[in-house]
Amino acid sequence: MLRFGLFGAGRIGKMHADNLALNADAELVSVYDVVAEAARAVAEKHGARADATVDAVLSDDVDAVLIASSTDTHVDLITAAAEAGKAILCEKPIDLDIDRVNKCQADIADCKVPIQIAFNRRYDPTHRAVHDAVRAGEIGDVYQVIITSRDPELAPMSYLQVSGGLYRDMMIHDFDLARFLLGEEPVEVMAMGSVLVEPELETINDVDTAMVMMRTASGKQCHINCSRNAAYGYDQRLEVFGSNGMVQSHNRRATTVERYTKGATAQRDPLLYFFIDRYPEAYVDELNDFIDAVANKREPSVTFEDGRRALLLADAANESLRSGAVVRVAA
Amino acid sequence: MLRFGLFGAGRIGKMHADNLALNADAELVSVYDVVAEAARAVAEKHGARADATVDAVLSDDVDAVLIASSTDTHVDLITAAAEAGKAILCEKPIDLDIDRVNKCQADIADCKVPIQIAFNRRYDPTHRAVHDAVRAGEIGDVYQVIITSRDPELAPMSYLQVSGGLYRDMMIHDFDLARFLLGEEPVEVMAMGSVLVEPELETINDVDTAMVMMRTASGKQCHINCSRNAAYGYDQRLEVFGSNGMVQSHNRRATTVERYTKGATAQRDPLLYFFIDRYPEAYVDELNDFIDAVANKREPSVTFEDGRRALLLADAANESLRSGAVVRVAA
Amino acid sequence: MLRFGLFGAGRIGKMHADNLALNADAELVSVYDVVAEAARAVAEKHGARADATVDAVLSDDVDAVLIASSTDTHVDLITAAAEAGKAILCEKPIDLDIDRVNKCQADIADCKVPIQIAFNRRYDPTHRAVHDAVRAGEIGDVYQVIITSRDPELAPMSYLQVSGGLYRDMMIHDFDLARFLLGEEPVEVMAMGSVLVEPELETINDVDTAMVMMRTASGKQCHINCSRNAAYGYDQRLEVFGSNGMVQSHNRRATTVERYTKGATAQRDPLLYFFIDRYPEAYVDELNDFIDAVANKREPSVTFEDGRRALLLADAANESLRSGAVVRVAA
Amino acid sequence: MLRFGLFGAGRIGKMHADNLALNADAELVSVYDVVAEAARAVAEKHGARADATVDAVLSDDVDAVLIASSTDTHVDLITAAAEAGKAILCEKPIDLDIDRVNKCQADIADCKVPIQIAFNRRYDPTHRAVHDAVRAGEIGDVYQVIITSRDPELAPMSYLQVSGGLYRDMMIHDFDLARFLLGEEPVEVMAMGSVLVEPELETINDVDTAMVMMRTASGKQCHINCSRNAAYGYDQRLEVFGSNGMVQSHNRRATTVERYTKGATAQRDPLLYFFIDRYPEAYVDELNDFIDAVANKREPSVTFEDGRRALLLADAANESLRSGAVVRVAA
């Protein structure tokens, strides 16, 4: 039984708490949130205690922490939890500032606690099946990875202002998927970005529509396209093309219904609305995998370094966007 | 909180027990099985007691029973539970003998307990979406219902010998779906059947490959085709065709992966293997719906009469198979 | 070079004339139609002569006749052409009256001319690919054939009144496809029919919505469903299910476009409107196959007997509809 | 009646000759090829004359020329034909050298003859339907265009050596499609390329696997990915994503057959093999459109300037590949 402390009782935190309740090997013991009332509600629902301080969460009866608080708190919580010897499952991104991430990595280097970054998409059954097929050699050598990632609706400006920008906030998932699927580090990044949806984004130097190309040392290529606003829904597709074939992960729908009427042929269900609806199994499976890693004293499948690498690529994309030139990233 | 007694701790019983554990408004209190060890195992897993007799299950601390024992025990258990004032959720079919079903109906007529027959397919999200679209008038007046229902593998002869035959054991689900989708009682039934898979079925006067046509009083039509053995998997499709269009429920797969290699284009995942894998949400939802019906003192959505009606149609099909003539069923 | 005389210069006749023009081994020499003006127009377009009598068409410079006139003229034209020693490609059905068909068969028994009945659907590339896969043993022994055949729009009552009824006029195509796909003669036929679209059909004892089940001597089964009026378009699907798998022929569309907007997900092109648009290659290929059969002195792929057999099944369906009983057809 | 002279009697030339034969408003009068025997064969098949010189083709009885000879001959033939006052339909690319293209443009500036560049993909029914939907405003403002373009098999080195390289030889089609779909000139180009299929390409400074990103002045984006070798077939897909939705053009297959067996689910036909098989209607329609443009004295739909623009983008991609920087192209 792994006893959890939860940091953050917002939308994602609540979902993680519900998933913990489904896992027979885990127990939610303590909840902390800057909004005490939010912590209390989640604690009550799951028979846990609401703690008033971070230190109280990191007490002896907690084995692991799940960090689902705002991004700017991640590094401090990781450091504190690591120093307290807790296993750590932390939401992406680690931080928006690579220097802070590097410092955190150095600070906790001696702690030897298991740390997993919550790149949930790696756990999506379909994305994972693509990954597994590729790793099993079904399509031979990887040539190209194509990732399409479009949100169903623009987030509010209040969020966008602190998000860190499209590449570090949104495309960071896709940078991680790219590494997951390529099986090799991208060493070159080129980026393009535009403000086509929300002109106000110009004022904070961000974009809402973006493309990236990347290349590994051996020449494998990856393209990612993102939009903050796809009118038709949350579009999450990817494909890997290799010397012997191609594997695709298509969008998901609630049912397999197909409708035919005079004006509308082969109408299917809308795309599942957003990440909570699109990736439910992934959130469960990443938790299970983390619990299993801790229980079996093996390295988590998605490491701190994975989190750091994704941020390096996002930063490279930002730099390429500014400079108009390819940016080289260390392998 | 609805406190449940469970009759039957086999494959389906275990699944129902697991689903009860997921429902915050239900609690498994007692388990009974002719194999005491089986009851004990399920009871232990869910913190319930294993009872040695039917009467013990029907004690005061049980509000409802879930009957998942063998078909020949259903009628007696329904009668006993109804007389004990318990709400009843009973697996299909009620019984293989329409006379016993009719007698049971008469016997419990005064009991006024909620009884739901577990025709799970009505709760499949896609089949249900088809039903809802039809009832909402999306395709106008219903003209034809087409149901394809093929099992992935022949059941063992030991099962087939006591199954009651393809129409009452397997197609009974489809007869229920037909009524659900037509929105009108079939009054004419024609059947054809063949032994194409397992010659030994001839010896027990059963078939493994079958077709049925039905017609309602207003002329709506329904076709069902069944096979005990589809090499490519569990094939569960249906469509409703009406004056303004058509709605289809397609097969389901584990993921949306699509594979392309030199020899194999657009390869998708195999069909989900069998009913437990294909209809997991349906089993959960039928349970939730039953609990909700009891809690809100409303009639269950799938009634004893629904179970009886499906059997009447199966019997009519058997008769048509023998006689080669249309069989009329009372509306 | 096969020199053709064409009987009938209506919609189908014109299309056949155009197809003849595409075939380097054929030449349209003469056209006849009861409406002389219609014959003249087609003749002019293709540099042929318009003849005033049937006999004039059957002159020495004509090797083969293509009969695309109204159904009631087919038998006389076949007989005359056969006696004149011409190869014959005749539109379906041969006639609506099985006695006349039998007599015609007897009358021309000694003529030894090649006769092909224009069951175009056998030549559809997709239907044919299904047939070829089945005959090649890809799905093992055939168990069931399912055919869906729905017209996009009710024909005018003036046509329906002389059509011979749904089974002989429309489902006749599907009876032929059933034989083509089953690879065995159906020996039992059961039918259901309803008037759901056009009440006036009651007055002529016809139906607009129909289902049939058939069975061969070895127990293979076939279901056909037809409608005179599918709001969403011309629906032409079939599947063959066997011991090792299933092969399907899906509907066709003009393009592979898929559209996604807020209100409409995965919208595809409408189904191709009607037979001329849906089966263009089939009309060309049946002509090519006929020309090839004549050139190579081999029996045509679709024979007079095939036309007669399809009518026998249609008649059996009509009889079953009246009697409510299975109708047996000689193998 | 437009009388054509044909330059080039190779694979593409022969196909164009066949298509000319299908067009009632066109007539093939003369054929020229450096291999006299090839010219003779095509001429004979279509009742045209085989000419021994370019000048002989450009005689008075020829109204238009179809240039399907090797790329290095295009500019001279265009210039000669334009000066002779002939309408010109010229295969892509105009030339591999932008200076020669510019000079050609200047040289024929006063000739006022209709010139169409044969970017056949614009005429593909599905690609065109996407274009038409976009131009009709179905998906609002264009945000992103994604084009996937992969050949089924590496061309022989002898061809690759003179091809001009992947961007000018193969991706040139996609640059043209990008302009066609964006409805705005790309002004920024970034490219990545790799040798993953055929190491020998290193020796000629070419690549076999490539990606491009482009951006228009208003910020619309386009991604193209190409491969010289897709094991699973000729992969030709595109999508346009805009403020109100998305439209996709999917791959095409010979039939709509779908196969299910134990080891292979939902198997469809292979992709149509290569451009001649994939784009047959496009070749016919571009010819018809050219003939119509000449007949109606309107500007051809795909102009010399379109051919020049596509080459500018290919050159920009090559430069970006070398420099690793964004390359700006004049709007």
Average pLDDT, integer, range A165-182: 98
Q: Which residues of B touch A19 (CB under 8 A)?
A: none
Write out pLDDT tens, residues A19-53: 999 898 999 999 999 999 999 999 999 999 999 99
**Interacting residues of A219 by C-beta distance below 8 A, sequence separation 6+:** D194, D195, D196, D209
Distance CA D131, CA D117 (A): 18
Q: Which residues of C touch D138 (CB under 8 A)?
A: 259, 261
Q: From residue B158, how far is each of A26, A309, C269, D302 by CA, in Å? A: 42, 59, 50, 72
Q: From residue B208, how far is each of B42, B194, B200, B230, B234 by CA, in Å? A: 34, 6, 10, 11, 15
- Suggest the residue from C232, C251, C253, C259 to mutate for an interface test with chain A (most A CBs closer than 10 A): C232
Average pLDDT, integer, range B207-232: 98
Instruction: For residue C247, list its beta bridge partners.
Output: C240, D259
Write out pLDDT tens, residues D121-166: 999 999 999 999 999 999 999 999 999 999 999 999 999 999 999 9
In this predicted structure, the answer to whether residue C331 has a pLDDT above a threshold of 80 is no
Distance CA D21, CA D47 (A): 10
Q: Which residues of D touch C244 (CB under 8 A)?
A: 261-262
Q: What is the pLDDT of residue D44?
A: 97
Distance CA B105, CA B91 (A): 16
Q: What is the pLDDT of residue B227?
A: 98
Q: List Cβ<8 Å contacts ≥24 apart for A278-282.
A: A278/A124, A278/A234, A278/A236, A278/A252, A279/A120, A279/A121, A279/A123, A279/A124, A281/A123, A281/A124, A281/A125, A282/A120, A282/A121, A282/A122, A282/A123, A282/A124, A282/A125
Residue among C207, C197, C149 at smallest CA distance from C175? C149
Write out pLDDT tens, residues B147-176: 999 999 999 999 999 999 999 999 999 999
Instruction: For residue D236, list its beta bridge partners.
Output: D149
3-class SS of residue C325: strand
Average pLDDT, integer, range A130-140: 98
3-class SS of residue A241: strand
Contact between residue C241 and residue C220 where contact means Cβ atoms under 8 Å apart? no
Residue C186: cis peptide before it, omega within 30 degrees of 0:
no
- C247, D259: Cβ pair inside 8 Å? yes
Q: What is the pLDDT of residue D224?
A: 98
- A265, C231: Cβ pair inside 8 Å? no
Name the DSSP class of B51.
P
Q: What is the pLDDT of residue C263?
A: 84
In this predicted structure, the answer to whether residue C283 has a pLDDT above a threshold of 80 is yes
Per-residue confidence band for D116, with pLDDT thresholds at 50, 70 and 90:
very high
Average pLDDT, integer, range D196-204: 97
Distance CA D220, CA D142 (A): 7
Q: What is the pLDDT of residue A319?
A: 98
Distance CA D242, CA D142 (A): 4
What is the second-level CATH architecture of the domain B2-113? 3-Layer(aba) Sandwich (3.40)
Q: Which residues of A touch D197 (CB under 8 A)?
A: 143, 243
Write out pLDDT tens, residues A295-311: 999 999 999 999 999 99
CATH for A122-274+305-328 (3.30.70.1050, 3.40.50.1820, 3.40.640.10, 3.30.360.10): 3.30.360.10
Helix (H) or strand (E) run with residue A292 in it: helix A280-295
The ipTM (two decimal places) reads: 0.96
Write out pLDDT tens, residues D25-81: 999 999 999 999 999 999 999 999 999 999 999 999 999 999 999 999 999 999 999
Q: Hey, what are A268's tokens?
A: 């299917």
Name the region of C141 (left: φ>0; alpha: ψ -120 to 50; beta: rest).
Answer: beta
In this predicted structure, the answer to whether residue D275 has a pLDDT above a threshold of 90 is yes
Q: Hey, what are D202's tokens?
A: 């290193």
Query: Closest to D232 (Cβ–Cβ): which among A190, A197, A245?
Result: A245
Write out pLDDT tens, residues B242-251: 999 999 999 9
Buried b / exposed e over A129-157, threshold 16 CB at 10 Å, is bbbebbeeebbeebbbbbbbbbbbeebee
Query: Please, what is the end-to-end C-alpha distance for chain B in angstroms?
Result: 38
3-class SS of residue C239: strand
Q: What is the pLDDT of residue C327?
A: 98
Identify the burial level of C136 via C-beta atoms within 10 angstroms of its C-beta, where 0-12 means exposed, 13-18 middle and 19 or more buried: exposed
Average pLDDT, integer, range C265-282: 94
Q: What is the pLDDT of residue C183?
A: 96
Residue among A14, A112, A111 at smallest CA distance from A68? A14
Spell out the domain ranges in chain C.
2-113, 122-274+305-328
Residues of B with CB under 8 A from a CB of C: 139-141, 143-144, 146, 148, 150, 188, 190, 192, 194-197, 209-211, 213-215, 219-221, 223, 225, 227, 229-232, 235, 241, 243-246, 324-326
CA-nearest residue to B269 within chain D is D265
Per-residue confidence band for A331, with pLDDT thresholds at 50, 70 and 90:
confident
Q: Edge to edge, what strands does the sheet with B49-50 contain?
A: B49-50, B26-32, B2-7, B64-67, B87-91, B115-118
Per-residue confidence band for B330, with pLDDT thresholds at 50, 70 and 90:
confident
Q: Which residues of C touch D126 (CB under 8 A)?
A: 255-257
Per-residue confidence band for B53, with pLDDT thresholds at 50, 70 and 90:
very high
Q: What is the pLDDT of residue B271?
A: 96
The gap from C-alpha A59 to its chain's centroid, in whole angstroms, comes to 28
Write out pLDDT tens, residues D279-303: 999 999 999 999 999 999 999 999 9
Query: Please, what is the end-to-end C-alpha distance for chain C in angstroms?
Result: 38
HEC-encoded secondary structure of chain D: CEEEEEECCCHHHHHHHHHHHHCCCEEEEEEECCCHHHHHHHHHHHCCEECCCHHHHCCCCCCEEEECCCHHHHHHHHHHHHHCCCEEEEECCCCCCHHHHHHHHHHCCCCCCCEEEECHHHHCHHHHHHHHHHHCCCCCCEEEEEEEEECCCCCCHHHHHHCCCHHHHCHHHHHHHHHHHHCCCEEEEEEEEECCCCHHHHHHCCCCEEEEEEEECCCCEEEEEEECCCCCCCEEEEEEEECCEEEEECCCECCCEEEEECCEEEEECCECCCHHHHCHHHHHHHHHHHHHHHHCCCCCCCCHHHHHHHHHHHHHHHHHHHHCECEECCC
Q: What is the pLDDT of residue D274?
A: 94
- C265, A262: Cβ pair inside 8 Å? no
Q: What is the pLDDT of residue B230?
A: 98
Contact between residue C166 and residue C193 where contact means Cβ atoms under 8 Å apart? yes
Per-residue confidence band for D331, with pLDDT thresholds at 50, 70 and 90:
confident
Average pLDDT of chain D? 97
In this predicted structure, the answer to whether residue A263 has a pLDDT above a threshold of 90 is no
Q: For A258-288, give the DSSP string.
A: EEEETTEEEEEPPBP-SHHHH-HHHHHHHHH
Q: Which residues of A touch B139 (CB under 8 A)?
A: 261
Degrees to nearest 5, angle at CA C251 with C249 and C253: 135
Q: What percent of chain D has pLDDT over 70?
A: 100
Write out pLDDT tens, residues C126-184: 999 999 999 999 999 999 999 999 999 999 999 999 999 999 999 999 999 999 999 99
Compute the nearest-CA separation of A210 from chain C (Å).
20
Write out pLDDT tens, residues D301-315: 999 999 999 999 999
Write out pLDDT tens, residues B67-114: 999 999 999 999 999 999 999 999 999 999 999 999 999 999 999 999
Average pLDDT, integer, range D75-97: 97
Compute the nearest-CA separation of C310 from chain D (Å).
25
Distance CA D293, CA A46 (A): 74
- C246, D254: Cβ pair inside 8 Å? no
Q: From residue C287, how far is each of A50, B78, C20, C120, C280 by CA, in Å? A: 82, 67, 8, 9, 11
Query: Closest to C194 (Cβ–Cβ): which among B192, B221, B227?
Result: B221
Distance CA A211, CA A225 (A): 4
CA-nearest residue to C193 within chain B is B219
Per-residue confidence band for C22, with pLDDT thresholds at 50, 70 and 90:
confident
Q: Hey, what are A213's tokens?
A: 């190309």
Distance CA D166, CA D146 (A): 18
Q: What percent of chain A has pLDDT over 70?
A: 100
Average pLDDT of chain C? 97
Q: What is the pLDDT of residue B44?
A: 97
CA-nearest residue to C264 within chain A is A267
Q: For C148-169, give the DSSP string.
A: EEE-SSPPPHHHHHHS--HHHH
Distance CA A115, CA A303 (A): 6
